[in-house]
A and B are shown apart, each in its own frame.
Chain A
């Protein structure tokens, strides 16, 4: 089966899940205790406004009808209007998206740049001091909350003596963005790399004991080539999968990191909207994040199939 055929098949499998996601997002409003319209409006509540929201959200109609309205508007890209800004919620999300995408992209890149060399080093020097040090990293590192990592990085590199990086904000121009996003992206990367290091090291060790690595060694190839061309080349496949599976945490991590560094991204939008009780925006952001993550799952699956031809023939 070709790569395109495999991709199409995966997309099809996503449909029932996508529907389920919309269902869950739809139900969020019904979890709100009491009258959702009144709760959302809070101090701004007046009988007219409440009635207006009931009308707009169809809160008095039977549930299936409400869901249908929600779904049909969704398909047209209409996520409702922000209660706070009187602007379509979808537009707010799109405006903030680039910042978050920067964070996710740069963060992923950095995490791979950290994890691959460390894991390879540990596997090459198995059971020696270097290995023990690298193995300690996931053990201790998984306990670091991502926001705390960010604050510590701020302390070290952006404040007081080390003023190498800005304390917050997005910066101007490509280089400006890169400079401003470096510490936040590093935070995201450090938060997720312990998992990557641990799994890549384990899978590399397993691969190095396999028969085809023995064949490679029997050719008398230099150990470095065996390690990289035969060992790593097979082990990264599982790392791509691990990265994909954990992308949910990575994306969630960006949400918190945006708060630490005051980045005007989608995550900050969500937090602000929560405090402003701006339900449509929260709903829109939840959906946006989920779509991003699902797309990443699909992409990693496809990359996996590209790297490992066996998968396509499933």
Chain B
């Protein structure tokens, strides 16, 4: 009896995702986003191959050079090759961004599932926590946390996780509240399945879609947070290359060497555009036909 309930229950999830494989190449935003992002990721991975200078090594003879064969984008105020730092900056920022989305995603989804499913006091407490975190302006809290914890990549994760989990928790909780009234959940209950199994095998696959869609647009926000922290001097510490830091370093030379600040900014915009397009594409594809 229980197994009958289980197989009937699993049906809704499969129906939603069947269309994905056939449709992805016909969705323009997905294709465009994946291409842009793919190009950037490939370049970042192949950093040692596509660059021929050291990103960190200073060369005080070669300060603030214009574009040349050896330095296609010129050098910065410490003689470092800009193209190299740009590519390695992509590595740094993208890597941190992915992890800084993953942790809040996991934490928030778990919290949302528990709060939504069990309701009652657990839910009230969770809601209160969410409201408190949300009351803080996003950047202010992150900066305050980075200050308290100290600079460094690990603390960037922690700070973003503490602030970022709330969005996922809210989304997942909302989905769970709707889903737990559906027949397949009631059937699972009646079949005597444990809470853990219901949450894990039946609720989770169905409510996670919205969280995934949000995660895609969250990456953009997180990248912006990372480069903003970098600009303020609170993020990735020098000499590790970071786009935000590069823009800050270039601001002093704005009148004469305006490209020092402009180029990393363009890199950020293009990366964010690729991610946004990808996010739109995935949202389109995950929507049931």
Contacts and interface: CB of A to CB of B under 8 A. Distances in A.
Interface of A: 16-18, 20-21, 23-24, 28-29, 31-33, 139-140, 142-148, 151-152, 154-155, 159-160, 247-249, 251-253, 255-256, 259-260, 270-271, 274-275, 282-283, 285-286, 289-290, 293-294, 297
A293 B131 CA distance: 12
A294 B255 CA distance: 40
Of A155, A252, A283, A285, most buried by chain B (CB within 10 Å of CB) is A252
A142 B261 contact: no
Of A260, A270, A286, A297, most buried by chain B (CB within 10 Å of CB) is A286
B134 A248 contact: yes
B170 to A, nearest CB: 12
A140 B132 contact: no
Interface string B111-138: 0000000000000000011011111111
Nearest to B129: A20
B247 interface: yes
A227 B134 CA distance: 34
Interface stretch (B7-15, B41-49, B141-149): B141-149
23 contacts: A17-B135, A18-B135, A20-B131, A24-B132, A33-B149, A139-B276, A139-B280, A144-B272, A148-B261, A148-B269, A151-B251, A159-B254, A251-B137, A252-B137, A252-B140, A255-B137, A260-B251, A271-B232, A282-B144, A290-B137, A290-B140, A293-B137, A294-B135
Contact of B140 (A151, A255, A259, A294): A255
Given A31-B145, A151-B261, A145 B136 contact: no
Contacts of B276: 139, 142-143
Given A144-B269, A145-B268, A290 B136 contact: yes
Q: What DSSP secondary structure best describes chain A's contact surface?
A: helix
A49 to B, nearest CB: 20
B38 interface: no
Interface stretch (B18-26, B61-69, B198-206, B220-228): B220-228
B72 interface: no
Nearest to A154: B254
A96 to B, nearest CB: 14
Contact of A249 (B138, B145, B262, B280): B138
A270 B137 contact: no
Interface in B250-289: 251, 254-255, 258, 261-262, 265, 268-273, 275-277, 280
Nearest to A167: B254
A189 B261 CA distance: 21
B224 A145 contact: yes
A143 B149 contact: no
A9 to B, nearest CB: 16
B277 A252 contact: no
Given A32-B149, A274-B147, A17 B131 contact: yes
Interface in B179-214: none
A36 to B, nearest CB: 9
Contact of A293 (B128, B136, B144): B136
A186 B134 CA distance: 25
Contacts of A160: 255
Given A286-B140, A290-B137, A155 B254 contact: yes
Contacts of B265: 144-145, 148, 151-152
B1 to A, nearest CB: 44
Of A16, A145, A146, most buried by chain B (CB within 10 Å of CB) is A145
B234 interface: yes
B103 interface: no
Contacts of A251: 137, 140
B228 A17 contact: no
A256 B228 contact: yes
Contacts of A148: 247, 261, 265, 268-269
B150 interface: yes
Contacts of B228: 145-147, 256
B231 A145 contact: yes
A256 B232 contact: yes
A16 B139 CA distance: 23
Contacts of A286: 136, 140-141, 144
B233 interface: yes
Contacts of A21: 132, 135-136
A155 B256 CA distance: 10
